[in-house]
Amino acid sequence: MNAVDFILAGMLAAATPMLLAALGEMVVERSGVLNLGLEGMMALGAALGFITTYTYDSHALGFLVAAVGGAALALVFALIVLGFVANQVAAGLAIGILGTGLSSLFGKSFESLTISGLPKLALPLLSDIPVLGALFVQDVVVWLTLLLALAIWAVMNHSKLGLIIRAVGENPHAARAIGFRVLRVRCAAIAFGGALAGIAGAYASTVYTPLWADGMIAGRGWIALALVVFGTWATGRVVFGAFLFGALSLGELTTQAAGVNIPSQLLACVPYIVTILMLAVISSNRRRMRLNTIASLGQPFEK
């Protein structure tokens, strides 16, 4: 298998955990809340998903439990930042630390155990295209994630629900004045984001690399946060960014396969370095940032 085939076959699956988490976070941020606890919610989802799938031999159940776990942790966050009007940055860090800790705690006795992943489904016709065909042989979660991205795009841009979320994110006081329940909208968005982060973690631990290792999320929650900025809060660009990172994260394996001799630890830095550079390129266009930034992002809302 050459490097191009390898990347085409693998990038969507590699992108999926980051994409799921980033899509959820995008909705949360559009409602005006910054949840930095993505890494923790993913880690918790990964542990719960793995444990459930291992114990009951059901991926579906694993995803369900991970989603519930992620959402539950997100609701703790919601309680702190919406109910108690706390600093969102600090609360996000607290949730990140708590989630990562819970993940290690729960996963302790499952260390290094393995399960089977999910079978790949080939899209008829498309998968027969030469070279590009490899792109169309993926597991069901990848396909569902892409459908979800489409659904989120449609809701955010073409539905009243999307308008309400955007209105709440831009100007919560005005939204309240015309009768929308800002805290309820935000709470629902946070729970949705948490559920997706949980599923994202479970995908990483039960499908992408179906074995439990402590700390397996390895910064992907943070990259997902950066992807939301990279995508300037627009679904299409977030999807594009996730694919780019999916491909990048395979670069390490690819160069090794190609026999290039660069220490693996330094190659492992590449996604992080690219994240920093990418943030710089996107953020330095202040006009564009201002046009897309969520006006009330990170600011507590009090009546």
Nearer to another protein, 1 or 177 (CB): 177
- Binding to another protein by residue 55, rule CB under 8 A? no
Interatomic CA distance for residues 84 and 116, integer angstroms: 43
Nearer to another protein, 34 or 199 (CB): 34
- Identify the H or E element spanning 40: helix 38-56
Nearer to another protein, 88 or 145 (CB): 88
Nearer to another protein, 24 or 107 (CB): 107
Sequence-distant (6+) residues with CB within 8 A of 188 are: none
**CA-CA distances (angstroms) from residue 27 to 129, 215, 295, 297?**
35, 26, 14, 12
- Binding to another protein by residue 166, rule CB under 8 A? yes
Nearer to another protein, 125 or 291 (CB): 291
Q: Shortest approach of another protein to residue 84 CB, angstroms?
A: 4
Task: Output the six-digit token pair for 263.
Answer: 């220490």
> Which one of residues 105, 132, 257, 258 is an interface residue with another protein (CB under 8 A)?
105
Choose among 235, 231, 257, 256: nearest CA to 245: 231
Binders in 34-53 for another protein, by CB under 8 A: 36, 40
- Quickly list DSSP for 167-186: HHHH-HHHHHHTT--HHHHH
> Which one of residues 222, 238, 250, 254 is an interface residue with another protein (CB under 8 A)?
222
Interatomic CA distance for residues 271 and 236, integer angstroms: 20
Interatomic CA distance for residues 297 and 130, integer angstroms: 45
Asked if 66 and 45 touch (Cβ cutoff 8 Å), the reply is: yes
Binders in 273-292 for another protein, by CB under 8 A: 273, 275-276, 279-281, 283-284, 286-287, 289-291
Per-residue x/- mask for another protein, residues 226 to 265, rule CB under 8 A?
A: x--x---------------------------------x-x
Stretch that binds another protein, among 18-26, 176-184, 240-248, 253-261 (CB under 8 A): 176-184
Q: Shortest approach of another protein to residue 27 CB, angstroms?
A: 16
Stretch that binds another protein, among 2-10, 128-136, 236-244, 266-274 (CB under 8 A): 266-274
Q: Shortest approach of another protein to residue 31 CB, angstroms?
A: 13
> Which one of residues 4, 60, 97, 140 is an interface residue with another protein (CB under 8 A)?
97
Interatomic CA distance for residues 235 and 250, integer angstroms: 23
Instruction: For CA atoms 161, 166, 168, 174, give the dihedral sign.
Output: negative
Q: Shortest approach of another protein to residue 206 CB, angstroms?
A: 20
Interatomic CA distance for residues 46 and 31, integer angstroms: 26
Nearer to another protein, 39 or 139 (CB): 39
- Binding to another protein by residue 113, rule CB under 8 A? no
Q: Collapse the DSSP code of 122 into the 3-class scheme (helix H, G, I; strand E, B; otherwise coil) and give the result.
A: strand
Nearer to another protein, 134 or 238 (CB): 238
